[in-house]
Amino acid sequence: MFSGIVEALGTVAELLVEGPGCRLVVQEPRIAAETKVADSIAVNGCCLTVIDVAGDTFAFQAGPETLQRTNLGDLKQGSKVNLERSLKVGERLGGHFVTGHIDAVGYLADRRDHGEWSFFRFRIPERLSLQMASKGSIAVDGVSLTIVDSEPEMFSVALIPYTLAVTTLGPLRVGDKVNLETDVLAKYVERQLQGMVRRSEG
């Protein structure tokens, strides 16, 4: 489990083709120093398992499913990625509960900058809107955000200067892909409601 509070920006040091997938090598000295093989790290919100640690880098293997269903397949050498290590029991929890399992890829549809602050609107698959609500939580590239408005195929967020400065969201341009994970509690509520509807129709 994760919180959606990004710890650091890493840099893609290498992308090596391995069969149908790839080996993703990320450089970030502070996290590398405290990471060991088999640790879970969210990379742009996608939970991956560390397979190697060498110096100031650590490596993951990403299969074809992950590459096709997230924006990790678009990474290149030098790309920046959001990094968060898994939660420790007993620590304070900021953000919200994030599993690291991506629900869909969305696209930045509109960006309005107001000085150092920004207002983003993302286009999403319509099915995800049933798990979203104004003032609810969403993880965008692994960053825990509060939804401002939710529409059938869109949602909006307001971003503070700090978030824009320390995550990959700051450089986003209209049309860029983002990984989306809706609130896990919203998923269970939607599932229960679907069951109630089926029972009432039966």
- Taking only the tens place, the pLDDT of each residue in 40-71 is 999 999 999 999 999 999 999 999 999 999 99
- Taking only the tens place, the pLDDT of each residue in 78-117 is 999 999 999 887 777 777 889 999 999 999 999 999 999 9
Q: What's the Cα-to-Cα distance from 22 to each of 1, 58, 67, rounded to whole Å? A: 24, 14, 9
Could you give the CA distance from residue 79 to residue 12 in angstroms, rounded to a whole number? 5
Could you give the CA distance from residue 18 to residue 51 in angstroms, rounded to a whole number? 13
Could you give the CA distance from residue 95 to residue 188 in angstroms, rounded to a whole number? 19
CA 183 from centroid of its chain's CA atoms = 12
- pTM assigned to the model: 0.90
